[in-house]
């Protein structure tokens, strides 16, 4: 389950003309979560208008919570939908991560997400083994094709596509492209805990500073596991903070839907924070790692180029930390 796992430090809520090297800030709600953006520019940009456009495009293309979106129409069986460039880019990124993760990242798990009550569809009384097995037969991103005229071809009309595990990361990349095209070289974009950090925080003359939540914090408290400095990288976290369970033997675990089995299985990975060249990939890899569990996640991480990660996992009932060498370089005490 996605959580807001990052705190953007010293972020004001004003958007106005300010002195040189002072930040412009904008915040709000979109895509079922909140966003905060901090940037430096001598020009007066129509940022709020641009953001509204981006969010409207993303929702119209990929929101499973919007009945008339392209993805909803495809899920309901409309074979005449010609998808837009946003859908195509997310489809191809998903295809890449699906192959690299050997199926642990799979947007066709949507039927199971709904069955377990995590999606927009009404949850059944109690999903039984036979029902779950029937849905699992519809899982497999290799059961989808993108035609030359940008139509989605499904092997079975019952396949349900859900890009929610990667769409927020993609939305951030689109916003980053807007700033790049307007010659803004220093900005921090955060949406629902995912982020892109470009350039520096000129106000503090430093790299951008963010923090990762402590998974053992109690309700109503905000404590942090660690902080890190970012420049020209994207970061996303998938996690189960405050949602893990302890069984009668004292073993701590979380429940994550495994696309390979179709079951909500015990998993020892509490959170995966991922650094990548863009937030689409960071978001998708973080979701893949969570489905894999700690040991398999480390194996995949070592196979990926320009991807680093920070895992909080459970070992003998206690949270432990693993950080790749590249991630360690970004950590700050």
Report residue 171: phi and psi, to 5°: -60, -40
Of 164, 162, 138, 163, nearest in space to 262 by CA: 138
Is 283 marked within a binding site? yes
The residue among 212, 219, 223 whose CA lies nearest residue 330 is 212
DSSP state of 217: P
Contact at 8 Å (CB) between 37 and 189? yes
Tell me if 287 is assigned to a ligand binding site. Answer: yes
**Are 329 and 230 contacting, i.e. CB atoms less than 8 angstroms apart?**
no
In 3-state terms the chain splits into helix, strand, coil percentages (rounded to 5) of: 30, 30, 40
d(CA 200, CA 187): 7
Helices (H), strands (E): how many in the chain? 9, 17
What residues are paired with 172 via a beta bridge? none
Pairing of strands 252-258, 224-230: unpaired
The H or E element that residue 210 is part of is strand 208-213
Residue 105 gets which letter from DSSP? S
Residue 271 annotated as binding site: no
Q: Which residues are annotated as a binding site for Mg(2+)?
A: 165, 283, 287
Q: Which residues are annotated as a binding site?
A: 165, 283, 287
């Amino acid at each position: 389950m996605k959580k807001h796992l990052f705190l953007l430090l010293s972020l004001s809520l004003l958007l106005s003309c300010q002195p040189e090297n002072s930040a412009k800030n904008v915040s709000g709600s979109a895509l079922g979560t909140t966003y905060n953006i901090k940037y430096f520019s001598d020009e007066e940009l129509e940022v709020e208008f641009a953001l509204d456009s981006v969010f409207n495009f993303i929702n119209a293309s990929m929101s499973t919570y919007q009945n008339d979106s392209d993805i909803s129409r495809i899920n309901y069986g409309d074979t005449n939908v010609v998808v837009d460039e946003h859908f195509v880019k997310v489809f191809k990124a998903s295809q890449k991560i699906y192959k690299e993760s050997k199926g642990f990242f799979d947007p066709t798990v949507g039927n199971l997400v709904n069955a377990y009550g995590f999606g927009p569809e009404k949850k059944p009384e109690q999903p039984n083994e036979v029902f779950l097995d029937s849905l699992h037969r519809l899982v497999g991103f290799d059961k989808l094709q993108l035609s030359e005229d940008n139509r989605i071809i499904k092997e079975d009309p019952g396949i349900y596509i859900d890009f929610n595990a990667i769409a927020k990361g993609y939305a951030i990349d689109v916003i980053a492209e807007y700033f790049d095209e307007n010659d803004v070289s220093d900005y921090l974009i955060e949406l629902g805990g995912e982020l892109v950090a470009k350039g520096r925080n000129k106000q503090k003359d430093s790299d951008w500073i963010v923090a990762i939540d402590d998974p053992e914090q109690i309700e109503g408290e905000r404590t942090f596991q660690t902080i890190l400095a970012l420049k020209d990288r994207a970061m996303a976290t998938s996690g189960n903070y405050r949602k893990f369970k302890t069984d009668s033997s004292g073993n701590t675990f979380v429940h994550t839907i495994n696309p390979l089995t179709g079951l909500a299985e015990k998993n020892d990975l509490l959170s995966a924070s991922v650094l990548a060249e863009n937030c689409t990939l960071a978001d998708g890899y973080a979701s893949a790692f969570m489905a894999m569990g700690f040991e398999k996640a480390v194996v995949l991480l070592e196979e990926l180029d320009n991807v680093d990660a920070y895992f909080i996992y459970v070992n003998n009932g206690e949270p432990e930390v693993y950080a790749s060498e590249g991630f360690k370089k970004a950590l700050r005490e």
